[in-house]
Amino acid sequence: MEIMQVMGNLVCTQRADGLGHMHLRILRNDKGKKLVAVDPVGAREGNWVFTASGSAARFACPNPATQTDLTIGGIIDFWSPDG
C-alpha cells in the first residue's frame, strides 16, 4: 500500500468492458509522479488516500473482475505528510 494525494478526476467516455462505470482519479505519489486509479470509495480532489496496487488492486473493488492495477482503498481522515 502507498499513500497518495488525489489531484483530480479523469473522464473517459470509451472504456474497456472490465472498467465498467468506476470513477477514475488522478493521483500523485510522494515523488510527484501522476498515476490513474480506480476509485470505489468516492475520494475528492485534495484528499489523501491509501492505495492497493498490482493484483491486490482488483480485490479492493466491489467486483474483483475490474481491470485495474491501482485502486483507492480508503480516504485518510488524518495524516501529516511531514511526518
Each residue of 8-22: pLDDT tens digit?
999 988 888 877 788
Gap between the Cα atoms of 41 and 61, Å rounded: 9
Domains of the chain in start order, with CATH, are 2-75 (2.40.50.220)
Whether the per-residue pLDDT at 60 is higher than 70: the answer is yes
Mean confidence (pLDDT) of the chain: 91
- pLDDT in the model for residue 16: 83
R_g of the chain, CA atoms, integer Å = 12
Higher-confidence position of 18 and 26: 26
Q: Which amino acid is residue 20, in one-letter code?
A: G
Tell me if 73 sits within 8 A of 52, measured CB to CB.
yes
Per DSSP, the three-state class of 76 is: coil
- pLDDT in the model for residue 18: 77
Mean pLDDT to the nearest integer, 35-47: 96
